[in-house]
């Protein structure tokens, strides 16, 4: 996949391309990433990329001409690419959006700064507007890194068998179970016995239960959107039965349990 990020701060990406999975994807030829300096496409002596808004008001707007020049250059280099504008007004980014973008041959990101980009750039060039969430940042560079990071690991071949994207918790709508490594006893806290049992069926069952209970406690909204498997329904029924039993035992032990309350 070809990725070009149009920005007035290309140096922000220098460390991004050279670490972890992103770096490996580049080394293995799955990703060709570059940050393009919008300022290099400004034609005036001072390389100006912003200007005052028509109609007045505070703040500045990104000028259309340097952006259009940069976009045309990148589109010529990668004609199949989708052009994405990072903006607080965009569609909320999700794992599903990441999966859609991972199927593209190329992506061109426009990182806004100041109050935003001239609207005619949006009309003429942009295929989709993306936000990474409802909070205010100072520009689109970190959001573009977030999107590239989430997309790159979904490109076939980028993740080995070790941590396959198919096993992602968000791919099946549950949070992940807790993880443990050595030592078995860390400052008095022990690893659950079942994980040391070597019983793979029991371990798989524990992991599913742990994922379900964690999702129920931390992100109940994820369960509402989701279709349970038969195995999960069996687990939920078992909990329901255990809670019923607990209530029965409790009420049977109360001093007034024979008085009909
Ligand atoms: C003072 C300016 N704002 C009025 C509330 C508008 C505004 C413009 C530009 C606010 C933030 C920004 C810079 N942010 C981004 O470019 C951005 C962003 C974000 O702030 N939050 C979540 N996702 C994104 S994607 C791009």
- In this predicted model, what pLDDT tens digit does every residue of 39-75 receive, in sequence order? 999 999 999 999 999 999 999 999 999 999 999 999 9
Does the active-site annotation cover 168? yes
Report whether pLDDT(209) > 60: yes
Name the residue with the closest Cα to ligand 1, atom 8.
115
Report whether pLDDT(137) > 70: yes
pLDDT tens for 174-192 read 999 999 999 999 999 999 9
Given the residues 129, 149, 168, 176, the one annotated as active site: 168
Report, as an integer, the average pLDDT of 239-256.
Answer: 91
Report whether pLDDT(162) > 60: no
CA of 39 to the centre of ligand 1 (A): 20
Report whether pLDDT(105) > 90: yes
Report, as an integer, the average pLDDT of 99-112.
Answer: 98
Mutate to test the pocket of ligand 1, among 84, 85, 88, 138 (most ligand atoms within 8 A of CB): 88
User: What pLDDT sits at residue 260?
Assistant: 62
Mutate to test the pocket of ligand 1, among 58, 87, 109 (most ligand atoms within 8 A of CB): 87
Task: Judge contact between 93 and 140, C-beta under 8 A.
Answer: no
| Residue ranges per structural domain of the chain | 2-152
Question: Which atom of ligand 1 lies at the shortest distance from residue 90's CA?
Answer: 25
CA of 68 to the centre of ligand 1 (A): 21
Report, as an integer, the average pLDDT of 89-104.
Answer: 98
Q: Which residues contact 215 (CB under 8 A, 6 or more apart)?
A: 174, 175, 222, 223
Q: Which residues contact 111 (CB under 8 A, 6 or more apart)?
A: 5, 6, 7, 8, 9, 86, 139, 140, 141, 143, 144
User: What pLDDT sits at residue 256?
Assistant: 77
Question: Which homologous superfamily does the CATH classification assign to the domain defined by 2-152?
Answer: SPOUT methyltransferase, trefoil knot domain (3.40.1280.10)
Ligand 1 and 136: CB distance under 6 A: yes
Name the residue with the closest Cα to ligand 1, atom 13.
139
Report whether pLDDT(234) > 90: yes
Q: Indicate the pTM of the whole model.
A: 0.94
Mean pLDDT of the chain: 95
Neighbours of 2 (CB within 10 A): 17
Report, as an integer, the average pLDDT of 114-119.
Answer: 96
User: What pLDDT sits at residue 261?
Assistant: 60
Report whether pLDDT(251) > 90: no
pLDDT tens for 193-203 read 999 999 999 99
% of the chain exceeding 70 in pLDDT:
97
For residue 104, which phi and psi values (nearest 5 degrees)? -85, 150
User: What pLDDT sits at residue 238?
Assistant: 96
Name the residue with the closest Cα to ligand 1, atom 4.
115
Find where tokens 């524990």 sit. 206
Report, as an integer, the average pLDDT of 198-225.
Answer: 97
Given the residues 10, 64, 118, 153, the one annotated as active site: 153
Report whether pLDDT(211) > 60: yes
Ligand 1 and 101: CB distance under 6 A: no
Report, as an integer, the average pLDDT of 83-93.
Answer: 98
User: What pLDDT sits at residue 11?
Assistant: 98
Count, residues in the chain: 261
Does the active-site annotation cover 88? yes
Strands 50-51 and 32-37: unpaired
Given the residues 27, 115, 163, 172, the one annotated as active site: 115
Report whether pLDDT(82) > 80: yes
């Amino acid at each position: 996949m070809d990725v070009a990020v149009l920005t007035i701060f290309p140096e922000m990406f220098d460390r991004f391309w050279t670490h972890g999975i992103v770096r490996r994807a580049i080394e293995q030829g799955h990703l060709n990433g570059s940050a393009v300096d919008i300022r290099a496409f400004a034609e005036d002596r001072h390389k100006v990329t912003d200007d005052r808004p028509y109609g007045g008001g505070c703040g500045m707007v990104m000028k259309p001409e340097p952006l259009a020049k940069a976009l045309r250059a990148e589109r010529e280099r990668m004609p199949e690419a989708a052009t994405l504008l990072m903006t607080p007004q965009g569609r909320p980014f999700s794992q599903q959006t990441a999966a859609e973008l991972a199927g593209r041959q190329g992506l061109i990101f426009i990182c806004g700064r100041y109050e935003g980009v001239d609207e005619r750039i949006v009309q003429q060039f942009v295929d989709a507007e993306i936000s990474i969430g409802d909070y205010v940042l100072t520009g689109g560079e970190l959001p573009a890194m977030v999107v590239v990071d989430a997309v790159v690991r979904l490109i076939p071949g980028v993740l080995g068998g070790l941590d396959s994207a198919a096993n992602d918790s968000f791919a099946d709508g549950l949070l992940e179970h807790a993880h443990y490594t050595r030592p078995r006893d860390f400052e008095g806290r022990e690893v659950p016995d079942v994980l040391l049992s070597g019983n793979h069926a029991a371990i798989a069952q524990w992991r599913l239960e742990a994922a379900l209970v964690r999702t129920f406690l931390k992100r109940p909204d994820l369960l509402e959107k989701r279709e349970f498997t038969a195995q999960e329904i069996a687990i939920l029924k078992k909990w329901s039965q255990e809670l019923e039993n607990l209530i029965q035992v409790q009420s049977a032990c109360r001093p007034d349990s024979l008085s009909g309350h």
